[in-house]
Structure 1
Amino acid sequence: MASFLKKLFGSKEKNAGNEPEVLSEPELTLARANNELQLRTQAAVEMWGIDTASWAVDLDEGTITFTSEEKQRVATAPVQVIGTYNTDDGTWLWGWDHPSVSEPLAAFARRVRDFGEQYGKAELTTRTLSASMEEVWAFTALACHLNGGEGAYSGASGSTRVQMVYGPVTLSPLQD
């Protein structure tokens, strides 16, 4: 992960000898974001089975719903679209300028663009770019962190992965 952080954000501070690497902004924010998302995802797995649940998004309502047969729970939350990743050609398209994403559902992605402008990071301000899945998850984690999201999800739609951040989750029992 450290080499990815250096590639994405560069390194402002030189590491002498065997001293621990010191992260500076914006690297520190991205590292925190990745750690937070890992913890939030683990909690969602344990509480309502995000890893095995079926999912559906209502872009008109701005909600995502996860249905877990295993946990016998339905989780519903407001959703934001951070962007889409084309697994065929490895390209990322940011939600802040995506033709299929309404302006209200792109607010979290716009905050990442603002962060990128603040720190001069082209990866966060370029509409479409080549990226790896690791980078796409880093973008999504950053969106979750900067906007106070509850968690993130990568939904498959054919050869496209839709990267989303969700807000406060409402749990209800699964109805037969």
Structure 2
Amino acid sequence: MMTNPDWYAHWRAEAVDQLNDKNRRLQDEFRLGGWSRYDYDLTSGKLVFSDEKVIKIIAEIQVAGSTSVKAGNWLWAWSNSNLPGEMLFDARMVRSFGEENGIDELAQPYVTDARDDLEVLGWELSATTVRICHAVGVYRSPRGEGGGLYLIIKSIAWAT
């Protein structure tokens, strides 16, 4: 059983509301979700959105974590040995925040959801990451076996 401080549930709910506002702004300003193609490169830390093979939007990213339908859980990026170290800075900040504040779900590698809704869990934990790391939004990339990879958007701009 994971334990968390009394204030954390409300704080996390505020983080979700803040992320919803941030992602709405990204949709309005950059048409996120409306481009015909997206690609991410975990070596360069870039997420690009294209239309007709022309890059339109470039975002700097970090990885928060991923959900797996097969495993039935969330895996923090800081605990995923398949990810390059330079993509884990924000996730490591979240882990430290969790350790300092006694928030088990931020400090343990895997998180399961009592409600059995991995999609909601992924967005909630990503929202927490955005709040702690002062990011501008999140993009969720679907994974082949089900679940998603949650990419934290650090900065975003129109391609020039």
TM-score, structure 2 as length reference:
0.84
Whichever residue aligns with residue 155 of structure 2, its letter is P
- The equivalent of 1:134 in structure 2 is 120
- 1:39–1:97: structure 2 CA closer, same or farther, 3 Å change rule? same
Query: What letter corresponds to residue 89 of structure 1 in structure 2?
Result: A
**SS across alignment from 2:152:** strand
Q: Post-superposition shift, 1:50?
A: 1.2
Amino-acid identity (%)? 21
- CA shift, 1:73, in A, is 7.1
Gaps of 5+ in 2: none
Q: Deviations over 1:1-41 (max 9, x none)?
A: xxxxxx9846x3xxxxxxxxxxx3x3343233111110111
CA distance in 1, matches of 2:91, 2:67: 14
- Aligned counterpart for 1:114 among listed residues 93, 96, 103: 96
What are the ranges of 5 or more consecutive residues in structure 1 without an aligned counterpart?
Answer: 1-6, 13-23
Aligned to 1:43: 25
- CA drift of 1:115 comes to 1.5
Deviates further, 143-152 or 129-138 = 129-138
Match of 2:49 in 1: 66
Map 1:15-164; keep pairs closer than 5 Å. Answer: 24=7, 26-53=8-35, 54-67=37-50, 74-131=56-113, 132-159=118-145, 160-164=147-151
Aligned length: 152
Aligned-pair Cα RMSD in Å: 2.2
Structure number with greater Rg is: 1
> Structure 2: which amino acid aligns with 1:59?
L
Mean Cα deviation higher: 38-47 or 50-59: 50-59
The alignment partner of 1:168 has SS state of: strand
Letter matched to residue 67 of structure 1: S
**Which structure has the higher relative contact order (CA within 8 Å, separation 6+)?**
2
